Every structure is written in C-alpha cells, then in structure tokens.
A = this chain, B = another copy of it.
Amino acid sequence: MEIRRVAVVAGGASKFGARQATYRDLISEAGKACYDSAPGLSPNDIEGFLLSTVMPERFVFQTHVAPLAAETLGVTPSKLVARVELLCASGSSAIRLAYGFIASGLADVIMVAGAEKMYTPNPAETVHHTLAAGDREWDAIHGLTAPPSFAMVAQRHMKEYGTTKEQLALVSVKNRRNGARNPIAQFRKPITVEEVYASKLVAKPLNLFDCCPITDGAAVIVLAAEHRVKDFTNEPIWIWGTGQAGGGNNAANVPGWAEWPRLRVAAKNAYQMAGVAPEDIDVAEVHDCFTISEIIEYEELGFCAKGEGGKFIEEGRSDYGGQVVVNPGGGLISRGHPFGATGIAQAIEMKQQLHGHAGDRQVPNAEIALTHNLSGFATEHTIMIYGREPK
C-alpha cells in the first residue's frame, strides 16, 4: 500500500546541561525555539501531542506528564495525547508513533516533545533513580547500571576485534570537537585523547570522557502530513524510512555483548523502506552513550564491516570530509543526554543539516540523514531516515 508522506516541519531545543530550571521550564524553553523555527505555525494547528520522557515520576515526582507539557506549550489536543517511553530511545519512539498516526490519516499535525530533568546536586540520587532502568529483580539489584554494562561491551569488542582504547577516545575527541560548535551542547570545550585517558576511570576500559553526561533538557518538533507542510515551512525534512527492533531488558538475554543483531534488523527495515543503502547516508546522529557504542554502530549500521569500527574512526571516515559525518551535533557525549529529549534533538540536528542551518558544524550538501537511538543493554534500537526532498 501507498503510505502518506510525512515531514518534520518545525523543531527547537532548550540549552542542554545541568540546568537551574524546572521540568516545565525546560519544556517551555524548547517550545519557544520550536515555534520560532516555523513562523507559520500556531498552537491551534496542532491536533495531536506526544511527550517523550522517561522518569519524571522519580526525578520530578510527576506523572500524567503529556497533558502538563501540552498545556505548557499552549496545545489543546483534539486528536491525540499521550506520553511515550523507551528509556534512552524514547524520543525516536515517539516520533515514529506520531509518524504512524499521521501516515494512517488519523491526524495531520502532531507535536512531539521530549524532556528530562535528571541532574541533581547529589550524584548518588541520580544513580539511584537511573537504577530503575535495569531489571530490578535480576540485574539492577546487583548494581548493574549502564557504565559497567557498556564496559563489558567494550572489553568484548576489544578482545574480538582488536579495538583499542585510543580508538574509543577518538570518538569522544570528534564528538566534543563537533559539540563545541553546537550552541545547545552541554560541553563546548574540545578535548584531546590524553585528556580522555586522564579523566577518571569509570568502569574499565571506560574513562569519564568515554561516557555521556547526566543532562537536563527538552526538545520539540512538529510533524505534518504532506498537504499541510507548506502551511508551516519551506524547509521540511521528509521521513523516508523507519525501523525499530527490540530484544528484551534482561542482561541474561543479551546475545553476545559486542554483537547488536537487533540493530541490524532495525537498520535493514529502515534502509529497505527508504530505498537507500548505508553508503547513501550523508550525515547521521547515532547513540554514543559511550564511545564504544558509536564504534559498534558504524558496523551494525553498515557504514563499515563488522569489527572495523575502530579503524573507521581512526581513519576519519566518520568525520567531516569522510564517508559519513557522524554526530555533527556533538552526540550524547557532547550535546548531553536528557533521556526523553535525545531522539528529538537528533531530528532537529538533521533538519538543520539538511537545510544548511548548522552554522560552522554544517555538513556540505547533506541530502540524506539517519538517526539511531538505542536503549537498555543495546537491546532496543530505533532508526529514522530523513531526506531533504520527499520520496
């Protein structure tokens, strides 16, 4: 069957970082940036509203958050309102649910917001809350948070494929260099390989600068059906394809830590739907929650062969002038990672890149973009492929 064409027509984000701002403040700041990005857009145009957010119940003691966010953004939904959660991949999960709802014909214009307030003055409190992400009865109870699990991923990948600590560090150096040019990024100071080595050891072989930070932030986009696009913008980006696959939440079910087969499934489906191959992608925002993640993503997304991710960064193939510019916005490592907002911020970066508004981090002549958002022990993967032109 023919599927309705849908585009991202507006987008804006708050400043990401350790913010002196409430959950509601962050949403409001991102909403203003979104409305400012599309002068033709009014809250009255918006029929549906999805909020991507993970743990407001723990960090801000608030649930029923979608209506609260819609209210904050002046939106009174007449066709759709809900919150979507898939831990770190909540943002792109919300985008594709909104996409399906519009593509089906059930609505024409949906706002998708993402928000997270995670920074606390007491790091132990943040660790306590984020422990809720792992399987409480089997994994979290033993203290298995993200850093030690991705350290196992890195150890395994180093053993299997000879990936080096320097290759890991180079991901951080590239993403910090890119993020330094992104006004919303949490970290705007470039770093060196030596500084990565010198940063505190978190879980061997991952140092602090191999890890994305704890971040507060919000991001908002608007999706519209083709016949409404021109009402809002001359610079839409079009959804060409999407894929998502999950493999569970329990560490015991992770199929070999350095192999991410569910990412392969999601990517294959997205490429097939979009009618493109990995080599067609000009620019990508991928989920660099840890430096090792980005290296494995090069491989599983098909940018290079399995096991060659380390060489891919080392040879500059994911940098400006290379094969595909990965994380020009700084990725999670530099822009920061407010769980619910990350996937939305990825889409905004792609919209800016495909229309030449990325300032001194602009990728020249970018026409086809990919975003990748993961959650859990790299068990769940969500892909979006966007084009500058409709397809």
Binding site for B on A (CB under 8 A): 1, 3-4, 22, 24, 49, 54-55, 57-58, 60-68, 70-71, 76-87, 90, 93-94, 96-97, 99-106, 131-137, 140, 242-250, 253, 265, 269, 375-376, 379-380
Contacts and interface: CB of A to CB of B under 8 A. Distances in A.
Given A22-B137, A66-B86, A105-B103, A245 B79 contact: yes
B85 A253 contact: no
25 contacts: A1-B4, A3-B104, A4-B104, A54-B64, A55-B63, A57-B132, A63-B85, A63-B132, A68-B250, A70-B246, A70-B248, A76-B245, A76-B246, A77-B244, A79-B243, A81-B244, A82-B85, A82-B94, A84-B84, A84-B85, A100-B101, A101-B104, A103-B105, A104-B105, A106-B242
A86 B63 CA distance: 8
Contact of A379 (B67, B86, B131, B133): B67
A interface SS class: mixed
B80 A244 contact: yes
Given A86-B83, A246-B76, A269-B79, A136 B60 contact: yes
Given A3-B105, A82-B84, 5 more contacts: A61-B131, A67-B86, A67-B248, A81-B245, A82-B85
A57 B57 contact: yes
Contact of A64 (B103, B243, B375): B375
